[in-house]
Amino acid sequence: MSAPLNSVGGFNTGPQRSWVIVDNTTGLPVDFGGDVMDLQASPNLKHIEINPISNQGYPKYKTQRTGWKGTLTVARNNANADLFESVQEALFHAGGTQRYFTIVEKTNNDDGTSDEFEYSGAEFFMDDSGAARMENPIEMKFGFNAQAKQPV
């Protein structure tokens, strides 16, 4: 479910990386209503230690990959981020369907090539609605969990 990276709701975090977050229900990019300050993603890993009585008593290790997690920080310009979270909350309390999103990430590499990856089955949640401080933007923080990261 890719969307063009220059579409409304798309953003970049510098000259090398751009992103767009697409609502899987509507197929439209999400506009958080502010300047995206950063987006960070990392794999969810569960490390497993197996202690067999064979293998001369040496443990064996495995890593279970259980999707991706990340954070998104938005400098608030309008109510979009608050409205986004209030819709999620209302759906939950009404027994509604969980909304999922696709995050498309494009990276311009130093060697002149570029690549795109999709984080699929992502769900977003507000971690912090931001502190109001004199002469500073209100920075709202969102977290997300995604099922997988795959090349486009």
For 128-142, write each residue's pLDDT tens digit. Answer: 999 888 888 899 999
CATH at residue 71 = 2.40.30
Rounded CA-CA distance 141/125 in Å is 9
pLDDT band at 38 (very low <50, low <70, confident <90, very high): confident
6 is a domain residue: no
16 is a domain residue: yes
Whole-prediction pTM: 0.83
1 is a domain residue: no
- Helix then strand then coil, in percent of the chain rounded to 5, is 10, 50, 35
pLDDT of residue 37: 85
5 is a domain residue: no
Average pLDDT over residues 98-104: 94
Q: The domain containing residue 118 runs over which residues?
A: 11-151
88 is a domain residue: yes
98 is a domain residue: yes
2 is a domain residue: no
Cα angle value 24/25/28 (rounded, 5°):
70
4 is a domain residue: no
At residue 88, does pLDDT exceed 80? yes
